Structure 1
Amino acid sequence: MKSNKITLFNIVFILFSTCAFAQYNFELVKDINPSGLANPHLSIEHNNKLYFSAIDGTNGRELWVTDGTTTGTQLLKNIYSGRGSSYPSSFTEYNGKLYFRADDGINGEELWVTDGTTAGTQLLKDINSSSGSALLRFTVYNGKLYFSADDGINGKELWVTDGTTAGTQLLKDIYTGGTNSFPQNLTVYNNKLYFSADDGTNGRELWVTDGTTAGTQIVKDIYSGGDDSGPSDFTEYNGKLYFSADDGINGKELWVTDGTNAGTQMVYNISYSNSSFPSELIIYNGELYFTANDNINGTELWVSDGTSAGTQMVANINTTSHSYPRNLTIYNGKLYFSADDGINGMELWVSDGYNSGTVMVKDINSSSGSSPISFTVYNGELYFNAIDGTNGRELWVTNGTTAGTVKISPAVAPMSDPISMLVRFVELNNSLFFDARFTTAGRELWKLTTPNLSTHENVTENIAVYPNPVTNILHLQTVNNTNTIELYSITGSLIESWENSTKIDLTHQTTGIYIVKIITQQGVTTKKIIKK
């Protein structure tokens, strides 16, 4: 039971209203399930609205939509009538509508479409009349939507739709005889659609289609003899498609293709003794970064310019074992990720692409790893969730500095594990939406709003603050007289104020992020500062 929910929400709302200069403003968007947990699963922003699934305690897990307001957060359609759940998922934009999979309790899990209205949320086609078609991997290519599905006759194969029932068809039965070819990793490259599939003869190999049955063919049998090369992690770079694959001789290594059989080759044999398992491929600073295990240094951060000689380890983060770099994310011109150096556990790391510039940002959990995950860039900062050893998994933010890596939450009594490990952040109308359990309301839909400093500051007056980051004295430079300077915490609490001054002493303040409010004859300007 959540008997204190309304009172707590009112308290939180009052806190938001009085914290006009807080950097991080939290708001419970809506108490979707007053009697339990809504557990919203956020999916996609479409036409200035956020679509997601949630449980309201009456209809089961169904399709919901929000414009970011309480009144605009509504059940879009109860697809599985009664208390059953339709489990809508895999939302993909195509031709101005959202396509997804859902189970209406009659046809099983099938292909659905919505235009954002209840009446326009409909079953597009019952592909498998005997049970669900188990749709996966929606990918838009050449004006149509491609996916894998099982029609109950041909097995799980490659399908295509133009958005109509008649235009939803099997493209090709790759593994004939009713057996699954399991098309995976659908990726558009060079005006064609590449994927992996098993035709029953060559094993799981690299395939391509131009959208026609005749043009759906195997590119190369990388692992000859019927075994699987298992191509995966497709990433386009420098006009070619890179991926990991196993040729049966060198193990799973880094490969590249230009779309031809002859042009499909191994880039470099990273591990001569076993598979290096390249993964998390990402383009950064004009090169291809990924994780790999050379079976000498363990799984570490690697980089490639597309040549054998230019494929090298960036840094040996863990000199005794694997550092397991994960969640590679570009932010503010650098590459951020989680890694374990063998001393501090899995923590937040950053790299500029060089060994010397690959360093730990902050040891968040000094007793064990904080396991940061779900990195998301929003309004000039990097958000993620981590465990500092105090209150379970919580919301964190960083500007790339140690002092600027802080835990944030509403100004309420903390709940244990307020953020789930698999939380998904989605930006809508300059706010960051996510599911959280900050109060006794349970796990509900929340949003975070921060000022975009480039527009939030008073650009009519040129005020400089320095040094920033600051250790002791912060100086202000302005052409007008400063009437008042106010220092606020990141939660919006006024800490200290000064009158008619051009410098403030922050020696006694703890490290972290603060907001400085500067009042002159010309108006009000706010500045974000970092105390070292």
Structure 2
Amino acid sequence: MKKRVLILMQFVAIISYSQVSLVKDINPLGNSNPSGFTEMNNVLYFKAANNASGDDFELWRTDGTETGTYLVKDLNTSASSNPTGLFAFNNKIYFKAGGSLYTSDGTEIGTVLFKTSQFLYEPYFTELNNELYYARHFAPGQRGLFKFNGTAETQLSTGFEVRYLSKYGSANKIIFQSDGGIPEDWEIWQSNGTASGTSELADLFGGDNLGSEARQFFEVNGKVFFTAFGASGVGRELYITDGTTSGTVLVKNINPTISGGNAANSNPNNFTMFNNKLYFTANDATNGDELWVSDGTTAGTQMVVDLYPGSTGSIPSNLFVYNNALYFSADHPTLGREVFKCTTSNSVTNLKNISTGSGSSNPSNFIEYNGKLYFVAEDPINGRELWSSTGFNSTTNLVVDINTGSGNSNPDNLTVMGNNLYFSANDGNSGKGIELYKYIDPVLSVTNNELISVVIYPNPTTSTFNINGTNVHKLEIYDINGKKMKSLQASSTYNIADLKTGIYFIKVFNDSGIKVGRIVKD
């Protein structure tokens, strides 16, 4: 028993110690501006600068330690190679630098030219059936679609441009935009990984030299939504495809306005899957840019809510799904730009008026980390800093004031790797500029009082247990090292028969926030 109590005391000490720390001062001369984070094999790859002007971007890597954070390779010793579009495939990182495609195994010697090309469009890569797809030049003025299995390259098309590569997994295809060798005739194309199976899917605009410019491909329930210009008075609107020509159709002409003989655009954007439907933003000309939902049919495509009445619109952005609700940033006529929450029944409410009154907190960078929703927001007292929430007003709080006082640390590029949340920020005090930081919070700052407040019985247990409390949403179970072992949805009885004997800590998510209790598995 003494050993169990000692372990509990040690655990409480560990989980009560949450911190934000500088990973490394990458650029002692100024800002390193790290961004483009991509994880592979427990290493985070990104681009950063280490010159005085903060614009000589090269490929870097970190394992979360200062010594494990270093330049992979200086691909352009006289200027910036500006690596972008980092993509992990087959234990290597692929990316665009300068006018070509490169690959890296994380070492200097293993960072080499992959294929020479130019005039590329993000995303540069996608993956299907353990093969890498990309577009490149294969002769002067000649471009095409290629795939690579890690050893050999296969050419799938010749003589035409390829843009906006996207995986259509349920149909086992790649969807993209191409001109088919006819200048400006941009339409939706498909490929099943063979040359004969690479073809135009539909001619939505009609005729040559003008195209629908299909893009923003996004798969939901076996179909792909996208935007395109249509013929006969249809501007950029919402379309859908089931992978067949006949099944590639306009979903709804959201903005049917014709002005000066030209069709207006609703410009659908911010595609997000929630509640088995597509949620997005669009402008119908009457209500401005607002939140919309679609099930793929005309009747099932409707505005969710008019948050900012009138033609101005609330301009929603940063749509993110967390704990069975949709969160986003939007303007409100009396609250300013704040965080809003949409339930599965399409009820939309303000999560919290962070910048009180009509001021704006301008929330962004939503991400889930360790059971909470993290994001960046600003208030008059603390400036722009890191915030978190479990989905309730009372549990939406500032995490830490990195740039103390009203100054802004401006956290950005929030990325989770392992038990850490990484981001770029400026502490405003040390003179280090915009650098790489990490936030370590294994079990969310649990206190002794919180441990006592959760009643778990029977305890110890050999298999099942109950929790004394109401309005429980879910549980998360951690070992004594802070490693999450399993998640359980709300129930009358919980089963941990599959866990080894030992001490575990249970995070209980309920209406009042998060509480943690201890259980002994015999």
TM-score, with structure 2 as normaliser: 0.75
Distance 2:282 2:309 in 1: 15
Q: Alpha carbons of 1:327 and 1:44: their partners in 2 closer, same or farther (altered >3 Å)?
A: same
How far apart are residue 268 of structure 1 and its match?
2.4
Q: Alpha carbons of 1:23 and 1:281: their partners in 2 closer, same or farther (altered >3 Å)?
A: farther
In the alignment, structure 1 residue 266 sits paired with structure 2 residue 253:
no
In the alignment, structure 1 residue 373 sits paired with structure 2 residue 357:
no
How far apart are residue 86 of structure 1 and its match?
2.2
How far apart are residue 102 of structure 1 and its match?
2.2
How far apart are residue 133 of structure 1 and its match?
6.1
Which residue number in structure 1 is paired with residue 64 of structure 2?
Answer: 68
CA contact (8 A) 1:371 1:387 kept: yes
CA contact (8 A) 1:202 1:221 kept: no
CA contact (8 A) 1:111 1:135 kept: no
Distance 2:352 2:403 in 1: 26
Q: 1:264-299, CA deviations, whole angstroms, 9 ceiling, x for partnerless residues?
A: 112223233243222222221122211122222222
Which residue number in structure 2 is paired with residue 222 of structure 1?
Answer: 204
Distance 1:354 1:91 in 2: 37
| Within-5 A mapping of 1:489-500 | none
Q: Alpha carbons of 1:193 and 1:19: their partners in 2 closer, same or farther (altered >3 Å)?
A: same
Residue-pair matches, total: 438
Which residue number in structure 1 is paired with residue 30 of structure 2?
Answer: 36
Distance 2:403 2:141 in 1: 56
Which residue number in structure 1 is paired with residue 277 of structure 2?
Answer: 287
* Alignment equivalent of 1:324, drawn from 310, 315, 338: 315
CA contact (8 A) 2:377 2:387 kept: yes
In the alignment, structure 1 residue 203 sits paired with structure 2 residue 185:
yes
3-state secondary structure, aligned to 1:347: strand
AA aligned to 1:253 is: E
How far apart are residue 20 of structure 1 and its match?
5.3
Q: Alpha carbons of 1:50 and 1:344: their partners in 2 closer, same or farther (altered >3 Å)?
A: same
In the alignment, structure 1 residue 141 sits paired with structure 2 residue 121:
no
TM-score, with structure 1 as normaliser: 0.74
How far apart are residue 210 of structure 1 and its match?
1.9
Which residue number in structure 2 is paired with residue 6 of structure 1?
Answer: none
Distance 2:408 2:402 in 1: 16
* Alignment equivalent of 1:124, drawn from 114, 121, 128: 114
* Alignment equivalent of 2:267, drawn from 258, 277, 289: 277
Structure 1: give runs of 5+ residues left out of the alignment: 1-17, 104-108, 176-180, 466-476, 479-521
CA contact (8 A) 2:403 2:409 kept: no
Q: Alpha carbons of 1:150 and 1:390: their partners in 2 closer, same or farther (altered >3 Å)?
A: farther
* Alignment equivalent of 1:300, drawn from 279, 282, 290: 290
CA contact (8 A) 1:396 1:407 kept: yes
How far apart are residue 205 of structure 1 and its match?
0.9
How far apart are residue 56 of structure 1 and its match?
3.1
Q: 1:230-284, CA deviations, whole angstroms, 9 ceiling, x for partnerless residues?
A: 2222122222222222212332222111111111112223233243222222221
In the alignment, structure 1 residue 194 sits paired with structure 2 residue 175:
yes
How far apart are residue 217 of structure 1 and its match?
1.0
Distance 1:265 1:412 in 2: 50
How far apart are residue 311 of structure 1 and its match?
1.8
CA contact (8 A) 1:385 1:395 kept: yes
| Within-5 A mapping of 1:108-119 | 109-119=99-109
**Structure having greater relative contact order (Cα 8 Å, sep ≥ 6):** 1
Distance 1:236 1:527 in 2: 33
CA contact (8 A) 1:280 1:326 kept: yes
3-state secondary structure, aligned to 1:403: helix
* Alignment equivalent of 1:153, drawn from 140, 143, 147: 140
AA aligned to 2:89 is: Y
In the alignment, structure 1 residue 172 sits paired with structure 2 residue 162:
no
AA aligned to 2:84 is: S
| Within-5 A mapping of 1:331-480 | 331-355=322-346, 357-365=347-355, 366-390=357-381, 392-409=383-400, 413-414=404-405, 416-419=407-410, 423-438=412-427, 439-440=429-430, 441-452=432-443, 463-464=453-454
3-state secondary structure, aligned to 2:400: coil
Q: Alpha carbons of 1:311 and 1:31: their partners in 2 closer, same or farther (altered >3 Å)?
A: same
3-state secondary structure, aligned to 1:425: strand
Distance 2:80 2:299 in 1: 53
Which residue number in structure 2 is paired with residue 51 of structure 1?
Answer: 45
3-state secondary structure, aligned to 1:101: strand
Distance 2:414 2:505 in 1: 32
Distance 2:387 2:36 in 1: 19
Distance 2:284 2:416 in 1: 38
Structure 2: give runs of 5+ residues left out of the alignment: 1-11, 258-263, 456-466, 469-502, 515-522
Distance 1:345 1:412 in 2: 23
Which residue number in structure 1 is paired with residue 485 of structure 2?
Answer: none
How far apart are residue 431 of structure 1 and its match?
0.6
Distance 1:457 1:324 in 2: 40
AA aligned to 1:53 is: K
Give the aligned CA root-mean-square deviation in angstroms.
Answer: 3.3
